[in-house]
Structure 1
């Protein structure tokens, strides 16, 4: 199948300070790939290098089997984190204009996407009349209406309510099924865990996690207890952190804690309806890696 993206030993610095240091990863054709990390980790710098806005100091980048020629750039779709649309134009005029910049205009494809995203009835409204969530969906449509092969989505779920989040989620997965290669940069670990085939985590400019979500979770072992209970749950020896949600809880065990001892302690304090020993969530792994780095 081959790779859409290959990043090999890439470094970038500003004023002698490394922002990205010797990172390598690839993104396979048709893969939904997650680029994650805390603010200031280097994610935006990586995206800007993939788009040829910045040039790496060293190392190599390959997109769609080539460097970033004008032809290759026309085969890329990009949703930036900083949104910006022409407020006085209508939705259709905006999408027609942005499509023309990519040398591709398809009114039929645009109308299909507007319908998919629940925006067809708003096509003649000015951008200034749209809510923030609506405008965000229009910008997403603009990023993909020219049918790109490689799509970069920077914080695509930011500011969306649950209904629109699901619409965007479903659209991304559908694009993946159609063979599009998608890079998602987001802080929403639950979405990454649900959608992405593989992830690359960067922290302080260094790559710290790389692989499938399943592989990464298995590296951290089964150190989490998922619990359904009645009663008050707190101060459990061997438990580092408890995340409550009503009568459910996620308990992150301390390193070296004896699971059986922890369960006995829990059973002495509350009535347990159900428990499961599992790998930590990607969100817990994210927090742990950042705190320990």
Structure 2
């Protein structure tokens, strides 16, 4: 049922001695959402995922999965892609899935073949794992996560090591899973990819959620974009805009100006009255990268 709460964390906190890795983290993820989880290195993403999977206990707060407290039964409905270290290097991709797929129930060879096909490994199904590239190893991790047809996926950097074609394929797979009513939790540092697939997201800084909501809401709340200006006199235009307090840079054959709503008209008047005719002017909408940088202070 659309709108069903799949994951809910309440005041989730984890300390390690005097260090607080995650503090009072409260998020809610509903069925069918692709929920992006973003933050600089060391912001608490992996610690949060570990608590969501029951790998470490929270110092405070709790995690609910599918409307119940975290337990083995609810975790059976979760597929995870975190790393590739557990596979047997001397066995083929298919044999690895046969082994891991039979840990808690008989392995289904048809499902194994379907999973390998879905992640683009069917042609290399019988190749040894140690001959795989990093991207191929990531694909095998995803194939393993798909085996039991879980309702909720946790993907931690699923495109690590992949080439652009592989990244595009995994992006399509995530969109397909969501269209089937699956729910995806995606931790990634590739902001352009997150912006293309995620419906909702949370931004973490030093263990604290500082932004969260739907992607549309977050981009509109930022209320900031970039104005591309082609003036008749670059040096004079740059001087006028900087004197007026606008953050401006030269990019190729344009001036790029950071603007908020209503600034475009002000800048147009400012340049013309300053004796700088404008040849072209285009306004671009804010990107997720802009929101992330402003929220986290990353430059």
Q: Which residue of 2 aligns with 1:182?
A: 184
Mapping 1:27-38, distance limit 5 Å:
27-38=29-40
1:126 aligns with 2:132: no
- Between the aligned partners of 2:180 and 2:55, the Cα distance in structure 1 is 28
Residue aligned with 2:90, SS: coil
The Cα of 1:117 is off from its aligned counterpart by 2.6
Pairs within 5 Å for 1:219-234: 219-226=221-228
- Residues 201-225 of structure 1, C-alpha deviation per residue, up to 9 Å, x if partnerless? 1101111001011111111113422
Q: Specify whether residues 63 and 275 from structure 1 end up closer, same or farther in structure 2 by C-alpha distance, changes over 3 A only.
A: same
Q: Residues 105 and 288 (structure 1 numbering): CA distance in 2 closer, same or farther, change over 3 Å?
A: same
1 CA distance for matches of 2:135 and 2:278?
43
How large is the Cα RMSD of the aligned pairs? Answer: 2.8
- Cα deviation digits, residues 81-120 of structure 1 (max 9, x gap): 5654221111100111121235363322221232233221
SS in 1 for 2:68: coil
The answer as to whether partners of 1:199 and 1:212 remain within 8 angstroms in 2 is yes
Within 2, Cα distance between the matches of 1:83 and 1:269?
60
Between 1:116-125 and 1:256-265, the stretch displaced more is 256-265
How far off is 1:76 after superposition? 0.9
- Residue deviations 1:136-182, cap 9 Å, x none? 11111112221111110001122211111111011111111111111
The answer for the alignment partner of 1:153 in structure 2 is 155
Partner of 1:93: 95
Counterpart check, 1:194 vs 2:186: no
SS of residue in 1 equivalent to 2:69: coil
Matched, 1:285 2:287: no
Conserved? CA contact 1:231–1:271, under 8 Å: no
Deviation at 1:70, TM superposition (A): 2.1
Decide which moves more: 101-110 or 133-142: 101-110
Query: Normalized against structure 2, the TM-score is what?
Result: 0.86
Structure 2 contact 36–194 (Cα < 8 Å) conserved: yes
Distance in 2 (CA, whole Å) between partners of 1:129 and 1:169 is 24
| C-alpha deviation, 1:226, in angstroms | 4.9
Structure 1 contact 102–146 (Cα < 8 Å) conserved:
no
Secondary structure of the structure 2 residue equivalent to 1:4: strand
- How many residue pairs end up in the alignment? 288
Contact preservation (8 Å) 1:74, 1:103: no
Confirm or deny: 8 A CA contact 1:239 1:262 kept in the other structure. no
2:167 alignment partner in structure 1? 165
Alignment-derived partner of residue 18 in structure 1: 20
Greater mean alpha carbon deviation, residues 99-108 or residues 45-54: 99-108
Is the alpha carbon distance of 1:81 and 1:91 closer, same or farther for their aligned partners in structure 2, counting shifts above 3 Å?
closer
Give the unaligned 5+ runs of structure 2: none
